[in-house]
Structure 1
Amino acid sequence: MQVKSTDPVLDANLAIALDALLAEESVTKAAARMHTSPAAMSRTLGRLRRILRDPLLVRAGQVMVPTPRALALREEAAGVVRRITALLTPETPVDPATLSSTFTVQGADLIGAALAPALLRLARQEAPGVSLRMRAEELEAGPALRDGRIDLEIGSIDHVDPETQVEELVTLRMAAAVRPDHPLTRKPLTPARLAAAEHVVVSRRGRFSGPLDAALAEHGLQRRVSAVLPSHLAALTLAAASDVVCLIPAVPDGETPSPVTAPASVLGLHVLDIPLPLPPLTIGMAWHPRHAADGAHQWLRGAVRQIFRTSTS
């Protein structure tokens, strides 16, 4: 129904005042309940009488008694106030043990391999009703977060979207992973020896070159890329079974190991420092602002932070 500008409007404050008047059957007591003056409450009663076209409370000797209309409205008014109170009360903190949620997280396979075991282990301890769906980097993250197709993106966040909230988790350096008895492990690694080795490159777009090639070119060197694979885990598996070199993220010396570095350890790979300046890799998580205050999503983000701050060594 469309409300005309001349129609009286019953706002939330009037609904709360109506509930107080009908419950107390006294202007003075209703005023005390509403923390206002009897005069102000008397004026409010006057407004309510005009809006509802009923006296509501009438004097009978020394007290006021409700009209039949007031008696009919009493329970409904109390219910409206309860709903308003619930609507405007801040959400209580979520108990993870009561969660029953499925979270969709998008990230590279290396992220999934690092995150899934630790996150599921944590969920079993704190939130057994939580399930995890990992997606490869197949969706454009900004629109996917906005549309709700994914709950969280984890990885190198390279899209600029004013609607997306981003939090950095860890900054890593790039290192070379090789099998333990690889020829590069027998002598100090130099740019020339690194360029002379066979390499596997990880690229979802099939690219053969990257920051290492630019760094080698500064020394007049060029490496040989024998394979390009779309998956880090596939590239690490190839490095474990052959003489190819695979670039992996690693923590700076002296810092706490990151879960992202765990797959190389599981495969028994030897990690070599690269004797060239390469850009660092920052791993972060991104989410849509509509989830910022959601208790379940807050638990998810807190769990991811905890995992990335915990040593896996």
Structure 2
Amino acid sequence: MTLVNSPEPVVDAHLAVALDALLAEQSVTRAAERLHTSPAAMSRTLARLRRILQDPLLVRAGQTMVPTPRAQALRDEAASVVRRLGALLSPGAGVDPANLRTTFTLQAADLVGAALAPGLLELARQEAPGVSLRFRAEELEAGPALRDGRIDLEIGAIDHVDPETRIDELATLRMVAAVRPGHPLAEKPLTPARLAAAEHVGVSRRGRFAGPLDTALAEHGLSRRVTVVLPSHLAAMTLAARSDVVCLIPTAPAGAAPSPFTDAAVALGLRLLDIPLPLPPVTIGMAWHPRHAADGAHHWLRDAVRRTLRAPGVPGDPA
């Protein structure tokens, strides 16, 4: 003898909604009006529910219909199921930052982190006190790290181009020379020759000695001497504050509002000198994975980063 398994019942959300309406209204006509359908269609749905549940559910009592004991037992559960379905299939509601309880992980170079952390922390204290921030150095390959959720945002000079990564530009900066108070370069107008003759500290995670300044100097037949390369801007600025080396740091364009990127230099007492050469600007951006694009908590984080680093009037969140 062959045993045939009976098929699994098909879950039909429309039936759950119809059952809730019928049990709440105790009327085929009113249930049809509630669901914007015809009484005939609702009557057919009631017949189908009766077959599935093997119970009449609603029975005639004079001019009205009354629920059976099974229907009375199902009423609250049906209403709860429909509420959960509505929540499941509704667009994501806006998030109140005050109710957030989460930790965001941001990957950034030390100078970017130093520029961002104070303002971002202050915004979190004011708007989202349950949010914690974790800053990581540029130690992970950002594309895969964003993709697998090890970091929520990458902030800095975005140099990877993954097709799915969303990128938003935050600030365009120019490079200036930072020197200690009393440095010989600060005593006279800075020229390419005087800049080339000074001793320099380079900043490179990969240990590179040359950069855009060397290209610009070479066009004038000049070269500089980089005596040390450090992986951190903050370490390089500290060295510049205690010696005669020159450190290049990013700051706001001429005439723009003060940049938080120079706060650390100011705190160390460094003098900032305009470089008399055309150097390419530095674009600071943030990158995130598109799975976070519609997430309310992540949207607050991106907006908070913008408000901390971006000049007023720049367009908002890209699609």
Do Structure 1 and Structure 2 share a fold, with TM-score over 0.5? yes
Do the aligned residues in 1 keep the contact of 2:181 with 2:269 (CA within 8 Å)? yes
Do the aligned residues in 1 keep the contact of 2:95 with 2:296 (CA within 8 Å)? yes
Instruction: Describe the shift of the 1:6–1:131 C-alpha distance in structure 2 as closer, same or farther (beyond 3 A).
Output: closer
Match of 1:9 in 2: 10
Deviates more, 1:252-261 or 1:60-69: 60-69
Match of 1:260 in 2: 261
TM-score by structure 2 length?
Answer: 0.90
Shift of 1:5: 11
Do the aligned residues in 2 keep the contact of 1:10 with 1:51 (CA within 8 Å)? no
Do the aligned residues in 1 keep the contact of 2:165 with 2:289 (CA within 8 Å)? yes
Match of 2:49 in 1: 48
- Write the letter of the residue equivalent to 1:171: T
Shift of 1:161: 1.2
Match of 1:228 in 2: 229
Distance in 2 (CA, whole Å) between partners of 1:280 and 1:190 is 20
Do the aligned residues in 1 keep the contact of 2:171 with 2:311 (CA within 8 Å)? no
Shift of 1:244: 0.8
Percent identical among aligned pairs is: 78
Match of 2:315 in 1: none
Answer yes or no: is 1:89 the counterpart of 2:86.
no
Match of 2:117 in 1: 116
Deviates more, 1:38-47 or 1:137-146: 38-47
Distance in 2 (CA, whole Å) between partners of 1:65 and 1:145 is 57
Match of 1:203 in 2: 204
Instruction: Describe the shift of the 1:215–1:40 C-alpha distance in structure 2 as closer, same or farther (beyond 3 A).
Output: same
Match of 1:184 in 2: 185
TM-score by structure 1 length?
Answer: 0.92
Q: How does 1:210-249 map to 2 (within 5 A)?
A: 210-249=211-250
Shift of 1:262: 1.4
Instruction: Describe the shift of the 1:131–1:28 C-alpha distance in structure 2 as closer, same or farther (beyond 3 A).
Output: same
Instruction: Describe the shift of the 1:112–1:70 C-alpha distance in structure 2 as closer, same or farther (beyond 3 A).
Output: same
Instruction: Describe the shift of the 1:131–1:10 C-alpha distance in structure 2 as closer, same or farther (beyond 3 A).
Output: closer
Distance in 2 (CA, whole Å) between partners of 1:183 and 1:273 is 15
- Write the letter of the residue equivalent to 2:53: L
The 3-state SS of whatever aligns with 1:276 is coil
Deviations along 1:136-182, one digit per CA (max 9) or x if unpaired, are 00001111111111111110111111222111100001111111211
- Write the letter of the residue equivalent to 1:51: I
- Write the letter of the residue equivalent to 1:147: D
- Write the letter of the residue equivalent to 1:212: L
Match of 1:105 in 2: 106
Shift of 1:87: 1.4
Match of 2:141 in 1: 140
Distance in 1 (CA, whole Å) between partners of 2:255 and 2:14 is 60
Do the aligned residues in 2 keep the contact of 1:182 with 1:243 (CA within 8 Å)? yes
Provide the aligned C-alpha RMSD in A: 2.0
Do the aligned residues in 2 keep the contact of 1:23 with 1:74 (CA within 8 Å)? yes
Provide structure 1 residue ranges, at least 5 long, that are not aligned to the other structure: none
Shift of 1:7: 6.6
How many residues matched? 308
- Write the letter of the residue equivalent to 1:187: K
Match of 1:303 in 2: 304
Distance in 2 (CA, whole Å) between partners of 1:86 and 1:101 is 22
Do the aligned residues in 2 keep the contact of 1:8 with 1:51 (CA within 8 Å)? no
Match of 2:290 in 1: 289
- Write the letter of the residue equivalent to 1:12: A
The 3-state SS of whatever aligns with 2:45 is helix
Do the aligned residues in 1 keep the contact of 2:190 with 2:275 (CA within 8 Å)? yes
Answer yes or no: is 1:165 the counterpart of 2:195.
no
Distance in 1 (CA, whole Å) between partners of 2:293 and 2:259 is 25
- Write the letter of the residue equivalent to 2:302: R
Shift of 1:59: 2.5
Distance in 2 (CA, whole Å) between partners of 1:46 and 1:6 is 21
- Write the letter of the residue equivalent to 2:193: A
